[in-house]
Amino acid sequence: MRMTRFKDDFYHKWLYKHIHTMHAVTHQVKEQLENFIPETIRPNIEMVYPGTTVPLATEETKERLRKKYALKDHFIVGMVGRIEEAKGQKKLLQAIANINIPDIKVLIVGQAMNESYLEALKNDIIHLDLEDKVIFTGFTTEVDTHLQLCNLTVLATENETFGLVVIESMANGVPVIATNKGGPLEIIKNGVDGYFFDGTIQNLTDQIQMFYNDKRLQKKISIETLEKVKKKFNETTQLTKLVTIIDKM
């Protein structure tokens, strides 16, 4: 979790004196912990990124899902995570509405945290004339297989602490467009293994259109994403680092 204020009240002074080591998931979080916890009570802070695995999904499984969602040769933009306002589903829908692409589909993977927000999204879909373009999958344990259906995924959260779905998309060879804040800044090298957008709907629209128009770019970024995950965000490697830290405690 991000830390945004100084923690020097009685409770936190007592708490941090009884913690030996804290695990920060990004350098940004580590810096926040160092800035907001007084040095006299600050535990040891170690930074280890979360990791992921490169999954395998059979063509049979993917074909089953393609039939379920009536997908053919569509350009599929995915968004994975809880369906709630902070995740930016509305922003993605508005960007898609700006793009005149008949064969585009949006795959929104995840569970709604608030039914009224989900209904508001569905009303937006009608208003934006996207009824034949948006698919809600609901909760699923087959996240990797759903990701492999996508040509592109979008992380539109205003400020994501890390962005596990970013490295999960990358592990599935799927290019990512992410907000240029928070954890994604430490995951993606812009223009090399993914792209950032500035948080505006127009910029997100432009980025999606760019990927749709350039199949070679999709392929290039897909290759780079896999290499990045294997080298920097391998689950076994990151877990080994964390275990080594724990063993030294």
Q: What is the CATH number of the domain that holds 105?
A: 3.40.50.2000
pLDDT for 1 beyond 70: no
* pLDDT exceeds 80 at position 62: yes
Whether 185 is in a domain gets the answer yes
* 113 shares a domain with 32: no
- CB count within 10 Å of CB 67 equals 10
Whether 121 and 18 map to the same domain: the answer is: no
User: How many beta carbons lie within 10 A of that of residue 5, not counting itself?
Assistant: 7
In a domain, 173, yes or no: yes
Same domain assignment for residues 107 and 201: yes
What pLDDT, on a 0 to 100 scale, did the predictor assign at position 202?
97
Q: Are residues 35 and 74 in the same domain?
A: no
Q: Which domain does 132 fall in, by range?
A: 59-232
Q: What is the pLDDT of residue 130?
A: 97
Same domain, 137 and 215: yes
Q: Are residues 118 and 18 in the same domain?
A: no
Task: Please tell me whether residues 63 and 117 are part of one structural domain.
Answer: yes
For residues 82 and 145, membership in a common domain is answered with yes
Task: Give the pLDDT confidence of 112-132 residue by residue, as tens digits.
Answer: 999 999 999 999 999 999 999
- b (16+ CB within 10 A) / e for 80-106: bbebbeebbbbbbbbbbbeeeeeebbb
**Would you state the pLDDT for residue 159?**
85
If pLDDT is split at 50, 70 and 90, which confidence band does 210 have? very high
Are residues 87 and 19 part of one domain? no
One domain for residues 43 and 77: no
| pLDDT above 80 for 225 | yes
Quick one: pLDDT at residue 9? Answer: 85
Same domain, 137 and 20: no
pLDDT category of residue 54 using cuts at 50, 70 and 90: confident
Q: Between β-strands 176-179 and 134-138, what pairing exists: parallel, antiparallel or unpaired? A: unpaired
Looking at every residue in the chain, the average pLDDT score rounds to 94
**Res. 57: pLDDT tops 90:** no
d(Cα 206, Cα 220) in Å, to the nearest integer?
19
- Total count of domains within the chain: 2
Domain annotation covers residue 192: yes
Residue 249 has pLDDT above 90, yes or no: no
Are both 210 and 100 inside the same structural domain? yes
Tokens 């039914």 found at: 115
Q: How confident is the model at residue 12 (pLDDT cuts 50, 70, 90)?
A: confident
